Structures are given as structure tokens and as C-alpha cells.
Amino acid sequence: MDRVALLLVIFGALNWLLIGLFRFDLIAVLLGGQEAVLSRAIYILVGLGGIWSISLFFRERGKT
């Protein structure tokens, strides 16, 4: 689950980079606009991935 959350967070961060630099929302373009059901589902999944990733701050790292 950690890897899935990380992948979602990276994808979301790259999308925000595109929005910030070029005002280009890749998710909206690929999935039919910001109000499209599939776009909204992706935005929700990215947000949930971010929430899950908060837990990484509070976990102890395994000793290797």
C-alpha cells in the first residue's frame, strides 16, 4: 500500500508542477475535464494517497 500511495503522490505532484508552470492539468485533459467523474476519482485517489503518506512520518524505519 505504501508504494501505491507513493506512486499516487508522485503523480499528483507532477500534475501540480504542470499546473503551476504551464496552467496545464494533465488529469483533466486525459480524462475529460475537472468535473468528469473519472477525473474526480483520480483527484480523490491522489488525496487519499497523500493522507496515507502522512503515516510514513510516524513509522520507525526497519534496521538493515
Cell numbers given for 23: 496552467
Structural domain boundaries, residue 32:
2-56
Q: Is residue 62 one of the residues assigned to a domain?
A: no
Q: What is the pTM of this model?
A: 0.84
Predicted confidence at residue 62, as pLDDT, reads 73
Q: Is the pLDDT of residue 64 over 60?
A: no
Asked if residue 28 is part of any domain, the answer here is yes
Cβ proximity of 27 and 43 under 8 Å: yes
Residues 8-58: tens digit of each pLDDT: 999 999 999 999 999 999 999 999 999 999 999 999 999 999 999 999 989
Res. 63 pLDDT band, cuts 50 70 90 = low
User: Residue 21: inside a domain, yes or no?
Assistant: yes
Q: How many domains does the chain have?
A: 1
The closest alpha carbon to 46, from 3, 1, 9, belongs to 9
Q: Is residue 22 part of a domain?
A: yes
